[in-house]
Chains A and B, each alone.
Chain A
Amino acid sequence: MDLNYSDEELVFRDEIRSWLAANLPQDLREKVETYAELTRDDLMRWHRILAQKGWVAPSWQKEWGGTDWTPVQRNIFEEECGFASAPPLMLFGLHMCGPVLQRFGTQAQKERFLPRIYNGDDFWCQGYSEPGSGSDLASLKTRAERQGDHYVVNGQKIWTTLAHYADWIFCLVRADPSTDKKQDGISFLLIDMKTPGITVRPLMLMDGVRHVNEVFFDDVKVPVENLVHEEGKGWTVAKYLLGHERMSAGRTGVSKRELAKLKELAASQPGNDGKAIIEDPHFRAKLTRLEVELMALEITNLRFLDEMRRTGQPPGADVSMLKIKGTEIQQTLTELMMRAADPADLEKYEVLARRYFNMRKTTIYGGSNEVQRNIIAKMTFGL
């Protein structure tokens, strides 16, 4: 057993690190570090810089722009981006729609969409959840009825992140409402957000920012060539994506950066005795526990990557533990930051408190942590 990076991996890491240092725009870095809201332009600017370098979608197939990196290298890259305070990449196109098209799309769909996703020409959003279908996603009702060479879509999606920025939405819709199993009869459709009949309405979250929306479909005509995979086989596509999603949910790079920031903050903020709060034994114990959790997550993450490297297989149900622990850690990080702030410093407290509020979402979305536990209980334990 050797838990260290190999020499080649270290060289690779240094290459990434110095490239980031030279190419990540200072204003974007500052926005990320001060938790300022990132605009569509901010997000896309960073996307395009990476696309130009050829690093925006490392896990894609080589012919569409993938880098052929090993899982460990991909992880190093993500960690380094996190450390460097790079803006997040919008996952909906790069990590969701892109891989789906590569796996299930027709050649025409690949050629039409993949380069535009890669280059950041289109902004995508994800239309899965509905008011009555959250954890029980397969019960979704948004209807897509075939009429000649079109589907006519009617229904409603909810919680659609950044739909107000999006050019395209990929949706799970019900093509056939008469199937016995609710997982059957679902289709995976790509819909142009400019199509008549689509209404996007904002939903304000408790941090006071517009992140999510309701999206209404009223007789929206979608050409049949926008169907991915077969009609009624959308659930297969969704399940394929699930694995992808959870693997990137650990976000150890971002969490390590935030931990370093938390320590810096705690060293600068007063405790109750005139010394810095980081020296308060109670606070310190919480901080240390968090750091240990993060170390444990990081090594566990590496174990998964190593297994992927050795077997060439995607990870099994156990990756759910990365999502559970990764999100819990992200939440505790924001909680301790909020609590480290001098309560007399209203501005600082408010920024950190809002971030704490916002991060409550991480244990709810992407398959709630309860659902992730159900997955391990069922798939790993057979319970």
Chain B
Amino acid sequence: MNFESNEEQRLLTDSVRRFIDKDYDFEKRRKIIASPEGWDSNAWAALAEMGVTALALPAEYDGFDGGAVDLMGIMEAFGAGLVVEPFLPTVLAGRLVMAAGSEAQRRAILPRVASGELRLAFAHLERGARFDLSRVGAEAKRTGDAWTISGEKRAVVGAPVAGKLVVSARTPSGLGLFLIDTQDAELKRHATVDGMRVADVLLFNAKAELLGDGAATLAKIEEVNDFGTALVCAEAVGAMKYACDTTLDYLKTRKQFGVTIGSFQALQHRMVDMYIASELSRSMTCLACSKVDATGDAKERAHAVSAAKIKISDSARLISQEAVQLHGGMGMTEELKVSHTFRRLTVIAEQFGDEDYHLTRFGAL
């Protein structure tokens, strides 16, 4: 057993952290989320330069053969810095291309993802499905060798800045995964409350390329979704750590009644509970990341990931709410980063399934 990161993981995480400290501070992020594009191509290029976009792809497609454990520290840094660039959607969709696509398709797509040139998003969610991955209504039609898709995908994170989308749709043999050019879809763009860019993706006989379909497709989606869940847990751990650190600073500096508010035992205990929740979340994230990397057993993987997500959703809510409360009025302002961390943690608590969904999933395993 060993919880320590290896040399390579440490080096890369450190350089990502340094980059965020230096070039992605809160002011910079404010400008990025207020910009029309909602992301920063220079920041993206810098991450690609460091090898972040290649990390979780196989070496034969210019990647580094990494997994969730390798990405943990980086996702934490993204969570602490509230990075909005579409890394997570790109990685997920890339891994779906890997899981479902042909050799030729992998070769055409993945090196471009690894280099940072191509961003992807996974268009799956539909109205009425909530977190049930199997509920897909979009239809794929085949005419000769050509496929088209019609349907509406909702709240697709990263879609507005993705060159291509991986889309799930019904085929005669069940569920299928397809690749489409984003420009072949109609996008309704939104900026979400946590500063991310998402889009509703409307498809009317959109030209599509089949990656793969059939009985195994859902299992592939589930596997990649679990991978994403583990990563977003790591992101949450970084955001929680920031929320705890900045709240602790505030308790040590804010004075009322002639003393620092951190001298009130009522608040000390709350701070300790926040800290404990963040540490337990870190533990569960370690578990989830190592299981998604190591195990071929879908049940064991799901068990760890759902457990982690339950813990992370609960902790995200507790820590975000307490961080704001202990800041008093200041916690409510747009001007303080902690209110943005609050919003990201609110969204993360539901992303890839809220705790109710995972309670049911865990219970049924």
Q: Residues on A close to B: CB < 8 A?
A: 129, 132-136, 139, 158-159, 203-206, 208, 212, 270-274, 277, 280, 282-283, 335, 338-339, 342-346, 349-350, 353-354, 356-357, 360-361, 363-365, 368-370, 373-374
Contact = CB atoms under 8 A, between A and B. Distances in A.
Nearest to A203: B333
Contacts of B130: 270-272, 277, 342-344
16 contacts: A133-B256, A135-B328, A203-B335, A205-B339, A212-B329, A270-B128, A280-B356, A282-B356, A282-B360, A342-B127, A343-B155, A344-B125, A346-B155, A346-B192, A360-B342, A374-B266
B19 to A, nearest CB: 26
Contact of A360 (B132, B325, B360): B325
B354 interface: yes
A124 B256 CA distance: 27
B135 interface: yes
Contacts of B200: 346
A159 B256 CA distance: 17
A364 B132 contact: no
A339 B350 contact: yes
Given A139-B256, A204-B335, 18 more contacts: A129-B329, A134-B256, A135-B257, A136-B256, A205-B333, A205-B334, A206-B334, A212-B329, A272-B360, A339-B354, A344-B128, A344-B130, A346-B154, A353-B347, A360-B321, A365-B329, A369-B325, A374-B266
A363 B155 contact: no
B276 interface: no
B108 to A, nearest CB: 30
A374 B321 CA distance: 20
B329 A159 contact: yes
B357 interface: yes
B357 A272 contact: yes
Contacts of A350: 190, 192-193
A345 B127 contact: yes
A284 to B, nearest CB: 10
B340 A206 contact: yes
Nearest to B346: A353
B256 A343 contact: no
A367 to B, nearest CB: 11
Contacts of A134: 256, 328-329
B11 interface: no
B193 A354 contact: yes
B267 interface: yes
B52 to A, nearest CB: 27
A159 B335 CA distance: 13
Nearest to B359: A282
Contacts of A206: 332-334, 339-340, 342-343
A6 to B, nearest CB: 41
Given A159-B329, A206-B334, A282-B356, A274 B257 contact: no
Interface in B350-365: 350, 354-357, 359-360
Size category of the B interface is 35 or more
B330 to A, nearest CB: 9
A371 to B, nearest CB: 10
Given A343-B130, A360-B321, A363-B325, A204 B333 contact: yes
Contact of A370 (B128, B267, B329, B333): B267
A203 to B, nearest CB: 6
A373 B357 CA distance: 35
Contacts of A364: 324-325, 328-329, 331-332
Nearest to A277: B130
B333 to A, nearest CB: 6
B356 to A, nearest CB: 4
A190 B355 CA distance: 51
Contact of A368 (B328, B335, B356): B328
A342 B135 CA distance: 14
Contacts of B267: 370
B128 A205 contact: no
A353 B193 contact: yes
Nearest to A134: B328
B223 interface: no
A277 B132 CA distance: 12
Contacts of A136: 256-258
B332 A272 contact: no
Interface in B102-141: 125-132, 135
Contacts of A360: 321, 324-325, 331-332, 342
Contacts of A203: 333, 335
B274 to A, nearest CB: 15
Among all A-B residue pairs, the 8 with the closest Cβ atoms = A344-B154, A206-B339, A282-B356, A136-B256, A204-B334, A270-B128, A136-B257, A344-B127
Contacts of A129: 329
Nearest to B317: A335
Contacts of A353: 193, 343, 346-347
A57 B346 CA distance: 39
B132 A344 contact: no
A361 B332 contact: yes
Contacts of A343: 125, 130-131, 155, 350
A272 B131 contact: yes
Contacts of B192: 346, 350
Contacts of B231: none
A320 to B, nearest CB: 14
B353 to A, nearest CB: 8
Contacts of B190: 346, 350
